[in-house]
Homo-oligomer: A and B are copies of this chain.
Amino acid sequence: MATAVPRGERGRPDGAGTGALGEDQLVGLLRTLLSGPAPGVALGAGDDAALVQIGSHLIVLTADMLVDGVHFERERVSAHDLGHKALTVNVSDVAAMGGSPRFALVSLGLPDDVASNWMVELYGGLRDAAAEYAVAVVGGDTTRADRVVISVALTGEVAAGRAVTRAGARPGDRVCVTGSLGAAAGGLWLSHASPAEVASALSAEWGRELLAALDRPVARVGEGQTLAAAGATAMMDVSDGLALDLSRLCRESGVGAAVRPADVPVAASLHGLERQAGVRPLDLALGGGDDYELLATLPSGAVDGVAAQLRERFGTPLTEIGEVRLEPGLVAVEADGSERPLEPAGWDPFGG
């Protein structure tokens, strides 16, 4: 649901404010207050997206709000990349349900000092992402605000019986993830490094790759549909960090999971950052947000087949990183077979 700024940058490292509620608590409050069966609602708040029925069509509805200083820094990111990302993160939520994105509404809050060419670039990024994902931007709202706020709502479709929520994982299922993890968190780390470190990193391919991962994420639409068709039992996108997001998936499914850290696919470009700054790639892969890879649970017999499909169709790897257990909670299983609790840490926009 959210994109990342490191905790120290958020001005609220202690979780104070908003009655000390974090994002998960607020989502819980929303679900309690607004829940109850309603006509046409197949799945309400709390997943990557909602599912509603219109006639015989299953519709996917999702929204994300990006705020300057919380999810991005206007001084650093290009307006084009920002527009592109604002749409892409919503597309990713639809992808995580196994759906196809169709129509977007874009609401913008704009401070007085935003120049019109910045707006033109932002819309250019939105337009490029819309073309890439076959989305039509059909409207929205514009208003004045103290800081740039970009609120996107996306409508998609999913074939009946093909929607995958967070709630279907069963003990014994395999935990799998597309692509590699941690590069966006590496880019975020770099974006806050010293000018000398940044300059040095950007002279290397790995440095440019890390920043590109942060600013120009890719939503896995075809991959999500393929995983859904292959019988994924639960699915979500990794937007707030693998450990936190997997803990959410497990909570919704009423299960736990064991993860083999040695098998987590760490972005290759992170090794450059490790060499330069000593940052551990696995920490970024487990705890960093903004990857937008898909996290899915699959019956054990389905993994090899769908992995081959994803490789052939999209060039996207699928890696098995653990398995679903009956017992709640996350554990890390080391190479020697020893187990330890895996902290569900990750990005929370309230820093709670």
Contacts and interface: CB of A to CB of B under 8 A. Distances in A.
Interface residues of A, number: 87
A84 interface: no
A169 B1 CA distance: 42
Q: How many copies does the complex hold?
A: 2
A21 B120 CA distance: 12
Interface in A115-137: 115-117, 119-120, 123-124, 126-127, 130, 134, 136-137
A138 interface: yes
A306 B349 CA distance: 50
A145 B147 CA distance: 9
A93 B139 CA distance: 12
Given A143-B70, A147-B145, A155-B61, A55 B52 contact: no
**Interface on chain A toward B: helix, strand, loop, or mixed SS?**
mixed
A136 B52 contact: yes
Interface string A143-172: 111110101010101000000000000000
Most buried by B among A2, A17, A18, A59: A18
Contact of A141 (B64, B115, B130): B64
A195 interface: no
A111 B70 CA distance: 11
Nearest to A130: B34
A349 B142 contact: yes
A315 interface: no
Contact of A54 (B1, B70, B102): B102
Given A33-B127, A143-B67, A52 B19 contact: no
Nearest to A107: B65
Contacts of A94: none
A63 interface: yes
B155 A59 contact: yes
Interface in A4-41: 10, 12, 16-21, 23, 26-27, 29-30, 33-34, 38-41
9 contacts: A17-B113, A20-B116, A47-B139, A52-B136, A54-B157, A55-B57, A57-B57, A67-B145, A151-B153
